[in-house]
Amino acid sequence: MTKVTANLLYSKEHEWVLHLEGSRVRIGISDYAQKQLGDIVFVENPDVDDDVTANESMGSIESVKAVSDLYSPVSGKVVRVNEELEDAPETINEQPYGTGWLIEVELSNLEELESLLNEDEYKALIHEGEE
């Protein structure tokens, strides 16, 4: 069973967003995405101070199966990167909603959060893909 967390918002590309405070958010990939990828062996995140744009590539994630683009669910400036993933990318498989987060972003437009999926909408999306 795929785990979905209620306090998060989700993109159709399977990234999650946690609203931290003010206009700062934390981004990671969903449990569903990490299960589809399999064992993750490398993550290429953007750097601190890089700009990211909603629905555009912000890096890549490599598993034993394939290399996939990571898409930013929001626009803004990267203010923090999870550097622990450099030495332990498998943390994403183990804790996709915890210590396996990717980056934190200072949003340029808080209203972009309204276009993301809530828990129920995301569950419906992934169940469509499982049929």
DSSP-assigned states of every residue in 66-114: -EEEEE-SS-EEEEEE-THHHH-TTHHHH-TTTTT--EEEEES-GGGGG
pLDDT of 24 higher than 80: yes
Q: Is 130 a domain residue?
A: no
pLDDT of 3 higher than 80: no
Q: How many domains does the chain have?
A: 1
Count CB-CB contacts under 10 A for residue 52.
Answer: 23
CA proximity to 129, closest of 63, 60, 33? 33
Q: Is 45 a domain residue?
A: yes
pLDDT of 1 higher than 60: no
What is the per-residue pLDDT for 130?
Answer: 57
pLDDT of 79 higher than 60: yes
Q: Is 56 a domain residue?
A: yes
pTM of whole model > 0.95? Answer: no
HSE of 62, CA atoms in CB hemisphere, 13 A? 7
pLDDT of 6 higher than 90: no
The pLDDT confidence band at residue 127, using thresholds 50, 70 and 90, is confident
Q: What is the mean pLDDT of residues 104-113?
A: 96
Structure tokens at 52: 């990211």
- Could you give the 3-state DSSP secondary structure of residue 55? coil
- Find the domain containing 101 and state its range: 9-122
Structure tokens at 34: 């990490």
Q: Is 58 a domain residue?
A: yes
What is the per-residue pLDDT for 64?
Answer: 94
Q: Is 3 a domain residue?
A: no
CATH, residue 81:
2.40.50.100
What is the per-residue pLDDT for 4?
Answer: 67
pLDDT of 123 higher than 60: yes
Q: Is 88 a domain residue?
A: yes
Q: Cα–Cα distance between 43 and 39 in angstroms, integer?
A: 12
Structure tokens at 27: 């981004």
Q: Is 94 a domain residue?
A: yes
What integer best gives the mean pLDDT of the chain?
94
